[in-house]
Structure 1
Amino acid sequence: MKNDIEIVKIQISSNYKVISMNIDGITNEEAMIFPNGEANCMNWILGHLIYIRNPLLNILDEESVWDGEKLSCYNRGEIPLERKDEFVSFDELKSYLKQSQEKLEAKLDAIESFHPETIKDISTLCLHEIYHSGQLGYLRRILGKPGAIK
């Protein structure tokens, strides 16, 4: 069934646009600001999005864009404030995001169908990305930038 692949392609493409718009013009220093001294910063949220994109790539029989062990500071359940010294630069994260997007788009263009047992995980991972891309929009406003989505 091709419809499910088309839905995921649209979600991945739309998410990438929203994420890109929300992180546009954000400096590395701004990306490291933890609102209220504790809320997740933009660097962590973007890194976390990429961290979780890797399992999506793996489900689609594609290689991760980075070593998850080396960059475990971006994993779910971590306390970002305690591991901020391990974060990579915001520009490096943007590069990883672009790589993950290119890999996802190429794979989704090439496959005929999803393995039925992966549908739930794929759907959940898309929802995860939508959730965090919205957080980037709020963080952008908190940083004093105009909203990117009009």
Structure 2
Amino acid sequence: MTEAKALASFFKRNQYLITMQAKDVTTEESLSLPPAGGNCMNWVIGHIIVHRDIALRSLGATPILDERETEIYKRESEPLTNPEQALPLATLVERLESSHQRLQTALEQSTPEALAHKPDPAEKRTVGEGLRLLQWHETYHAGQLELLRHMAGKHEKLI
């Protein structure tokens, strides 16, 4: 299996997991903050899209979020508590699906040479190494969604 196909497969698994965890959760429920700190489901899914945008850019594809939306969900942004600031969860799930489709297409069209390329001579990682790191990061956050789903009052076993 090529590196691109392996990455596509891992992202596809995450897509399924994230979509299942967000199923039937309202925007209001998605804004429940963990009592011991951290961020809410809405922020985690938006944050995943921010990092998929990084992956898309590294493959020469068009990102999903605009600059204002990226500010809401980027690393080290303030905890998301204001419903007026948050994107509706249904919108995030739609954007997640769009990012998934773009990422799958970009990976299908990538070459081994493109994945082995270092975008900047000062850069330590190749495009492929960067994508593997982004995929790991996404999996890390996808794992948080089960607990955040429980916080939203959804307790059925999904996977």
- Taking structure 1 as the reference length, what is the TM-score of the superposition? 0.90
**Residue 147 (1) aligns with residue 147 (2):** no
Query: Which residue number in structure 2 is paired with residue 76 of structure 1?
Result: 75
- State the Cα distance separating 1:37 from its structure 2 match: 7.5
Query: Which residue number in structure 2 is paired with residue 93 of structure 1?
Result: 92
Q: Structure 1: any 5+ residue segments left out of the alignment? A: none
Q: Structure 2: any 5+ residue segments left out of the alignment? A: 117-125
CA distance in 2: counterparts of 1:84 and 1:28, whole angstroms: 8
Q: Does the residue aligned with 1:124 lie in a helix, a strand or coil?
A: helix
Query: Which residue number in structure 2 is paired with residue 52 of structure 1?
Result: 51
Letter of the 1:132 counterpart: H
**Residue 123 (1) aligns with residue 132 (2):** yes
CA distance in 2: counterparts of 1:46 and 1:118, whole angstroms: 23
**Structure with a larger share of its residues in helix:** 1
CA distance in 2: counterparts of 1:27 and 1:83, whole angstroms: 14
Query: Which residue number in structure 2 is paired with residue 10 of structure 1?
Result: 9
Contact persistence 1:49–1:129 (CA under 8 A): yes
Structure 1 segment 31-42 matched on structure 2, within 5 A = 31-36=30-35, 38-42=37-41
- Taking structure 2 as the reference length, what is the TM-score of the superposition? 0.85
Contact persistence 1:73–1:80 (CA under 8 A): no
Letter of the 1:49 counterpart: I
Overall identity of the aligned pairs, in %: 29
Query: Which residue number in structure 1 is paired with residue 119 of structure 2?
Result: none
Query: Which residue number in structure 1 is paired with residue 108 of structure 2?
Result: 109
Contact persistence 2:28–2:83 (CA under 8 A): no
- State the Cα distance separating 1:53 from its structure 2 match: 0.6
- State the Cα distance separating 1:137 from its structure 2 match: 1.2
